[in-house]
Amino acid sequence: MNLIIDVGNTYIKIGVFDQSKIVAKKTIVQNDLDQEILDIHKKHPLIQQAIISSVSDLNPDTVKQIQGLYETLIVNHKIAMPFSNLYETPETLGIDRLALVAAAVDQYPQKNVLVIDAGTCVTYDFKNEKEEYLGGAIAPGIRLRYHSLNNYTAKLPLLEPKLPENHIGNTTNEAIHSGVVQGILYEIQGVIEEYCNIYPDLTVILTGGDAHFLSKRLKNGIFATSNFLLEGLNYILAFNNSR
């Protein structure tokens, strides 16, 4: 069994896999990670390996704790990946984006795949049918957009994300909801359409913390999944074990 740890900008996602099947998962804040690792160690004694992906600072003592319990692979730009990375500055590429591309290779081999990760940021990552990663785009996520309106204006309030009732907001709150949510939906749909113009057989994956919130308003034909990044990390671990 494998322990998968994804340290994001806001939360940490943890998954326990039995080969390619996820048997447990949890989302926590970083301060809870040390105790969570001990709890998992007791609850799942068959775990032998771990993989850590981090896009933010992770306490070195926590890393040592995990390494003391399991054979641990830490994802960086030097480890083997199951695809050709054609990104011109691979050392600046987010570790989480590598994991998403790995999941696309594993689950949609020899297909053109666009992975959209809607979290703190909205990232777009594309791999072609030759298993080549070409790159993508990075944009502000939903909450960043709400926070920016509040932080950089004098009087606009900070709101929680909400699907707007109408395209035309007739109050300031509804206008903000319409601008933020409709804006990000139009952005995502526009990016998908541009990719489809080049790759008509495109497969689109929507994942991340806001995936299900956004999928309610996006067109059909998009696969929404919450475990894609964890599955990608598990595949990277298996890929490196097989080498």
Q: Is 125 helix (H, G, I), strand (E, B) or coil?
A: strand
DSSP codes, 180-210 = IIIHHHHHHHHHHHHHHHH-TT-EEEEESTT
φ/ψ bin of 19: left (φ > 0), alpha (ψ from -120 to 50), beta (otherwise) = left
Cβ atoms of 120 and 113 within 8 Å: the answer is no
**H-run or E-run covering 117:** strand 113-118
Annotated binding-site residues for ATP read 6-13, 120
Of the listed 57, 96, 125, 210, which one is catalytic? 96
Q: How far apart are CA 208 and CA 148, in angstroms?
A: 20
Q: Is 201 a catalytic residue?
A: no
**Which helix or strand (DSSP H or E) is residue 64 part of?**
helix 60-69
Q: Which two tokens stand for residue 190?
A: 């526009």
Is the distance from CB of 8 to CB of 39 less than 8 angstroms?
A: no
Q: Which of 5, 94, 27, 12 is nearest to 55 (CA)?
A: 94
Residues 6+ apart with CB under 8 A from 159: 146, 173, 176, 177
**Greatest alpha-carbon span in the chain:** 59
Quote the tokens at residue 33.
């990670």
Residues that constitute the known binding site for K(+): 117
Q: Could you tell me which residues are annotated as the binding site for substrate?
A: 87, 94-97, 172
Q: What positions carry a catalytic annotation? A: 96
